Structure 1
Amino acid sequence: MRLFIVTTALLTSTLSTASEKNDIERITTTASRAEVSADPLPLVISSISQAQLDLIAPTHIEQVLKHIAGANVQHGNGQEYLPALRSPVLSGAGACGGILTAEDGIPLRAAGFCNINELFEAHTEMAERVEVLKGPGSALYGSNAVHGVINVITPDTTYDEHLVGLDLGSYGYSRLKLRSGKDLGNQGIGINASVTRDTGYRDDESVDQEKLNLRHRYSNNELSITTGLSYTNLDQQTAGFIEGFESYKDDEIAQQNFDPDAFREARSFRLWSKTQWQKEQDSLTITPYVRSQSMTFFKHFLPGTPLEENSQNGVGIQSLWQHAYSNTFTLNLGLDSEYTRADFLQYQDQPTQGSDFLIATVPQGKHYDYDVSSTLLAPFVSLDWQWQALSISLGARFEQLNYDYTNNMLAGRTDENGNECGFGGCRYSRPPSGENKFTNTSPKLGLSYQLSTNNYLYANLSKGYRAPQAAELYQLQREQQVADLESETADNLEFGFKGQYQQLHYVLSAYAMNKENVIFRDSDFFTVNDGQTKHRGVELELDYQLTESLQLALAASHAEHTYSYAQILSGVNIIGNDVDTAPRNIANVQINFQATDATIVALEWHHVSDYFTDPENLHSYAGHDLINLRGAWQINEQLKVTARINNLLDAAYAERADYTSFTGDRYFPGRPRNIMFSASYAW
């Protein structure tokens, strides 16, 4: 983890020596479902600690993940975003399947029903830490873990610790935080909660959000049972894109909301119970869970502005048996399975406005109405062998995902009453009821060589995949009656160096990934998957203690994401072009100054280079640089106050930029300079 100076300074009122701070072991649970040291692993795990999160005081997950080399989350409006991790920014009906997101190791969504904004269902604001596994580097994760895993880990609140906090910021932002626990000996209970209100910078936008984690712990000599409950509620009034070349530079336009009726309402619920039996050579972990989500939102970006209602309800179980044959050889066996029942409804209350073509082809009434039941079964195995200074990890996961789809409307390209549309037919097409099955295998081979006591050379070869999402299979358009899709696959090779050298902790990694069967909507509005892309990158993360009171943290990446298949768009063959919305250079630099034993000041610079906004590479965004300033003062053992100035130089920039042939250049404008003050009392 970077910024361990921050974590120590904020949690204690005395300054430890630099050597003591850099000796803190970096622990991960995402790589193996158990606490292990991160540096010796033959893959890259990056982490943001709880104290770092306290200093950042994130109002959005983007503010956290910008500290991870290779991550590039573009904030939309409210709690919405588009993600990227060793990838271009992912967009489209099922592109969210490229990154697996989880809370406490439980995926936020079922394998076939991802949502591009699903991380707003994780309690990042009150997390213990956020871990990011880069690349398809583990047999523990199957479909959706193509580019990596983002795992939000909530704190164990079952001990005698209590905290209340208040955040107040610009543009009507406020957040109340509560954490409390009670240790009852061999068991304990606790709560972790936050309530957010944000009236927003732009016209007619707002966010009301509540998040809750409950936890219970029981343990004896060989058995431990940890049970958790998570609930989130989001009520958001959404501001959409602004249009026009570099319109984000016009303060008046940037603040306007041209979609004042847009909204999103979302609820999520998860209940899980992790049971662990531990003996001398064996460990067995079984985690059953229940998961439920529902969402309603106004699709202001589509003609006719339809309303979508969707929900997913399911149960699942994760299991892992670990047997240590010796001090140097361990066998891991597991089985993951889940069942999910989902429904989807899209309908339009009013007639479509616009051109004669849109009026004729986008009918009033229901567009889609279907149910899907999915069943996932995934056994996996891995072997970990230590041979002198060389660690070898070999594993594989087999996964079968079945969809049972029921169309609740007339099949085909008509309105809900069976009437045909003009201009060749209706926009929306519904396939007949049916079943789809996808089977995939993801092998991995990882090598880690210990160069010295705290330094490692690593390499891994792995394969990732994602099954087509339900939205890609069953929300068709124009003349397409059936989507004949295969799973996207990715072959990944990476190597690098990581470890500790005196006062420097470093991770240097290089990767090469080739993706095949990439799913996209072509120029005929057919959902197809004959796309191919290449992904090449170098990443560097540094945590360097310059002096007793000065520390530097760097997260930087250079990456090239290119199309490797021929397709003619607007007269341009895109083969060899940069994938749109894929900046080649991203860097985050932080300088942390320990002014006194009780105060710290952090200055942050975040750089995003220019990038193309269309596949033809004819339009682009110039990139931006942002400066943020943060400070914290530990007044006494219980009371801490912090302050942040985001966008210190008041730069005009776009959180997200893209280009379409219908609208031209369009943007989500970034917020001007804004301030937040926080106070927390812990006992």
Structure 2
Amino acid sequence: MGADKIRALAALSCVWATSCSFAADADTILDQVTVTATREQARLVETPASVGVVKGADIAADKPSHPAEVMSQIPGAAVAVTNGEGHTTAIRQPFTTSPVYLFLEDGIPSRSTGFFNHNGLYEINIPQAGGIEVNRGPSSALYGSDAIGGVVNVLTRTPPRKAEAIGSVEIGEHGWRRALVSGGDGYENGGWRADLNFSATDGWRDDTGYDRKSATLRWDHFIGDSTSLKTVLGFSQIDQDTGANSPLVRDDYRHDPTRNYLPIAFRKVSALRLSTSYEHETENALLSITPYVRDNSMDLLASFALRFDPSIAETENRSYGLMAKWRQDFAPMRARLIAGIDVDMSPGGRRENRINPTTRGTGASQEFIAYTVGPRIYDYEVEYRGISPYIHGEISPTDRLRLTAGLRYDDMRYEFSNRFAPGAVQVGNSFYGQAADTSVSYHRATPKIGATYALGKDTHVFASYNQGFRAPSESQIFRPSRAGSLASARALAQSALELEAIKADQYELGLRGVLAGVSYDLVAYELTKRDDIVSQRDPVTTQTITTNAGKTRHRGIELGLGAPIRDGLRLDVAFSYARHEYVDWVTSQGDFGGNEQQSAPRVMSNTRLTWTPTSSARAQIEWIRIGSYWLDDENTEKYGGHSLFNFRGDLALTRSLSLFGSIHNLTDRRYAESAQLSTGRTPAYSPGLPRTVIAGVEAKW
């Protein structure tokens, strides 16, 4: 491969890596860069945003079996296991399944707005990723709807410059087995890479098996020295028994944690993404055009709905989209202007049937052991269309000061076609509201402004204001909750059609730098959500409706530290302290204004001590702390939180053969991945994985 092509491939690698330290020559190391905060390669110290990074090398070394094993390395970010690789996420929000996060792969949303999946990270091949960037807080000015709590951008690995192949196999307790295979090659004008992931487990709890097949294919090709093409194909097929997050009453949680009250629940997922990015770059300008297609489908018998709305559903959506942008740099004051447009057309549909479960026992420990499929309750097609132009500008009035501003306008529309007549479908004593064929639209302009200032060579401060929003998802609009009467079902269906977008405002102040060899990143923020969706009783009709009447406030500090203690020994800390409070939150269950939100720990931290005695050996101890949190909005019951200790290590036997292993929950602590008040306000806990050993071997050619 020619020298110019090698340099171009290195630059492209830097754009899509989580952080970069490539150089024009061996003696020069450039500053760390980020791509998520501006959708352009930018120096982190000149980015007025909280960007956390998990490097591709760390992912490859840790070989995570779940996204939770790497996400907590980012200050203010945590992921809790639900089942298999399913998860809830907490980034400047409580642990939640709500659509307040945007999941990307190489900058492209993994799903369309309106078809949000809170398990979005399991649709992406995390253990073979080239890195993860998390932009914490609202980012709608660049990315649109859902980007309130944060944007998680998973990056694909760059093709190698010469032929290589890597394969690993691993086994562990509870029937865990996985094979990871990767290979690629470079040529005169580019290179390609293929990553394959085959994972399976029997599950440590009863009836909680999981099977995954994933592939990521990437091809980079250069046309001359200024034009490049990058094609990425990602695919995942997942089959899992979702009772793994079955909450248990306290006695079973303590003494019989493998028990599963919800063995009939399952989730089957198929996700495909294909994109090609065309980039033409001149000395001062860049033109980028990225068409893409997505195909997502899921069969779901939801464990979380069995007690109040048992059903089985088939959902699917396909996406045809285009992301285009133009960037122009100007010599005066290092000015930069980026203008772009995102276009997304995503037709989809839902077919859902009520089920008749067979149960055993009563109350919070009731078991769901079998079911038969009952009548259909939803059957519709819905198409999401979005056109979103945006503009982003940067300027440096002085050498130390960098100013940024941006604005995005989202024009979004749902076209809905119902196979049922308007009104409601009755199944026994349950009623399901049905909307008539209709169009629902949302329009939103979201700005952002920010500034960075260099206090010194190694110290930088930043401040920013960002707005965010999320449009209601298709299920919130067209699949209202089960009701107890015909009038209630109609009221819920009508109120769902009238929902507006949730808005968010965030103020942020940060300090980052290096002091005595210790790198640090300290951020304070206040995020306020308005017009959140709550269930209330209509004072005129007395029917329960959904409406935009909630307001919450989220305040916190986040700290990241990296300290080389001595040769071969390093300490890394990710810490956050936050309060998540209801400001205005009146529902049909009561007024919770002034209370803390449930599932919202104040403290989250990850501390890692890594020892690398030689270049061929590594050992790491990790301490994860999740603080106490309320189980209910009334703030009457608490989960006490937990501390976990994990161990990871690897040893290179030869240049091509190495061993690796990990021990999760080293002290075999009983802890809860999630906790809440269940039937009859009984505390219930979803137990986390006990001490588990995994070992494997990796070969490189």
TM-score (norm 2): 0.88
Q: Secondary structure at the match of 2:319?
A: strand
Q: 1:465 to 1:36 in 2, by over 3 A?
A: same
Aligned to 1:9: none
Residue 382 of structure 2 is aligned to residue 372 of structure 1: yes
Residue 591 of structure 2 is aligned to residue 588 of structure 1: no
Which of the residues 570, 582, 604 maps onto 2:622? 604
Deviations 1:581-608 (A, max 9, x none): 0000111111111223321211111111
Aligned to 2:345: 339
* Partner Cα separation in structure 2 for residue 577 and residue 224 of structure 1: 53
Aligned to 1:42: 48
* Partner Cα separation in structure 1 for residue 246 and residue 102 of structure 2: 30
Q: Secondary structure at the match of 2:117?
A: coil
Report which stretch shifted further, 645-654 or 631-640. Answer: 631-640
Aligned to 2:566: 547
* Partner Cα separation in structure 2 for residue 215 and residue 244 of structure 1: 43
Residue 203 of structure 2 is aligned to residue 200 of structure 1: yes
Aligned AA (1:309)? E
Matches within 5 A, 1:607-646: 607-646=625-664
Which of the residues 421, 426, 448 maps onto 1:444? 448
Aligned to 2:318: 313
* Partner Cα separation in structure 1 for residue 700 and residue 601 of structure 2: 41
Which protein has greater RCO, CA pairs closer than 8 Å, 6+ apart? 1
Aligned to 1:666: 684
Asked whether the equivalents of residues 106 and 154 of structure 2 are also in contact (C-alpha less than 8 Å), the reply is yes
Matches within 5 A, 1:12-51: 25-51=31-57
Aligned to 1:3: none
Asked whether the equivalents of residues 327 and 337 of structure 2 are also in contact (C-alpha less than 8 Å), the reply is yes
Aligned to 2:526: 512
Aligned to 2:271: 268
What is the deviation of 1:71? Answer: 1.3
Residue 437 of structure 2 is aligned to residue 433 of structure 1: yes
* Partner Cα separation in structure 1 for residue 233 and residue 245 of structure 2: 36
Q: Secondary structure at the match of 2:77?
A: coil
Q: Which structure 2 segments of 5+ residues have no match? A: 1-25, 363-371, 538-542
Aligned AA (1:365)? P
Matches within 5 A, 1:109-148: 109-137=111-139, 139-148=141-150
* Partner Cα separation in structure 1 for residue 615 and residue 359 of structure 2: 63
Which of the residues 441, 458, 468 maps onto 1:464? 468
Matches within 5 A, 1:407-418: 407-415=418-426
* Partner Cα separation in structure 2 for residue 521 and residue 661 of structure 1: 19
What is the deviation of 1:35? Answer: 2.9
Deviations 1:424-462 (A, max 9, x none): xx3321222211110011100010001112321000001
Aligned to 2:295: 292
Aligned to 1:153: 155
What is the deviation of 1:566? Answer: 4.5
Aligned residues: 646
Q: Secondary structure at the match of 2:423?
A: coil
Deviations 1:231-290 (A, max 9, x none): 1000112225545553464242x1012222221110011110000001011101111100
* Partner Cα separation in structure 2 for residue 260 and residue 481 of structure 1: 31
Aligned to 1:405: 416
Q: Secondary structure at the match of 2:78?
A: coil
Q: Secondary structure at the match of 1:32?
A: coil
What is the deviation of 1:108? Answer: 0.9
* Partner Cα separation in structure 1 for residue 654 and residue 42 of structure 2: 33
Q: Which one has a larger percent strand, Structure 1 or Structure 2?
A: 2
Residue 405 of structure 2 is aligned to residue 394 of structure 1: yes
Q: Secondary structure at the match of 1:114?
A: coil
Deviations 1:130-155 (A, max 9, x none): 11001124632111101110011110
Aligned to 2:8: none
Asked whether the equivalents of residues 555 and 578 of structure 2 are also in contact (C-alpha less than 8 Å), the reply is yes
Residue 108 of structure 2 is aligned to residue 106 of structure 1: yes
Aligned AA (1:152)? V
Asked whether the equivalents of residues 267 and 302 of structure 2 are also in contact (C-alpha less than 8 Å), the reply is no
Give me the CA root mean square deviation.
2.3
Matches within 5 A, 1:11-90: 25-90=31-96
Q: 1:241 to 1:351 in 2, by over 3 A?
A: closer
Deviations 1:614-655 (A, max 9, x none): 111112211100011111212232222211111000000011
Q: Secondary structure at the match of 2:143?
A: coil
Residue 499 of structure 2 is aligned to residue 485 of structure 1: yes
What is the deviation of 1:23? Answer: 6.4
Report which stretch shifted further, 124-133 or 160-169. Answer: 160-169
What is the deviation of 1:351? Answer: 7.1
* Partner Cα separation in structure 2 for residue 488 and residue 564 of structure 1: 15
* Partner Cα separation in structure 2 for residue 352 and residue 438 of structure 1: 42
